[in-house]
Amino acid sequence: MKITDAMVLAAGLGTRLRPITDSIPKPLVKVGGKAMIEYALDLLADAGVERVVVNVHHHAEQMIGYLESYPRLQVIISDEQAGLMNSGGGLAKGLRLLGDATVFVMNADLFWIGDKHDRESNLDRLANFFDPTRMDMALLCVDPGHTTGHSGKNDFNLDEQGRLTRHRPGDLHPVVYAGAIIMNTSLLNDAPPDAFNLNIYFDRAIAKGRLFGLTLDGHWITVGTPEAIGEAESAIRRLQD
């Protein structure tokens, strides 16, 4: 499946990264010489995406300035300066700018390394995995042992058919949500106009047996605190070497 549209969620306050984020938005904090959001944008561009919506709030002028200069994608701004919409509300608002389409959704502050030029990328794998006749959403997930910066909390259990359910102690295949989704924008046509958490739609899909997951091929990195920047950069150097 060829996906040409996407949204990147980038409006958060990054409170755990203070004092760094007192003066810069979290997605523009550099890790390994690149802004965190650049990892997500590059992954999307490499997968053939042409147009991306990015929502902005905290230090919005810095975000807009950076995005206007990003050369590889047409960027559409979803402005949340008047008030944060939470993950679900921000996604619903941004997707309205794209119309009816199957899209990637990514977080600006979660990324992975390990995609190889001689094999299918993780986003390409996710696109080929997604079957809208059986799935509301397909999430890229990661085994907890292939992460850096992760708090240790598992999000889902992945069964042999690829279905996701909420994690419970004793699950056979616990996984962490890796910050990438494929879905059709029409899924959120009934979304409320105000702020809400995207977990509402995850749980609806689970109840219908229509939330699926695909395991990441590579190493996943999250940066939640100033100290985690050094850990992430060490992991990048080690894995690239």
**pLDDT tens sequence across 196-238:** 999 999 999 999 999 999 999 989 998 888 888 888 888 888 8
Tokens of residue 12, six digits: 């958060």
Burial 95-125 (b: 16+ CB within 10 A, else e): beebeeebbbbbbbbbbbbebeeeeebbbbb
Give φ, ψ of 177 to 5 degrees.
-65, 125
pTM, whole model, 2 decimals? 0.92
Digits of tens for pLDDT over the chain (241 positions)? 789 999 999 998 878 879 888 899 999 999 988 999 999 999 999 999 999 999 999 999 999 999 999 999 999 999 998 888 899 999 999 999 998 999 999 999 888 987 777 788 999 999 999 999 999 999 999 988 888 877 778 889 999 899 999 998 877 799 999 999 999 999 999 998 899 999 999 999 999 999 999 999 989 998 888 888 888 888 888 877 6
Domains of the chain (ranges plus CATH)? 5-240 (3.90.550.10)
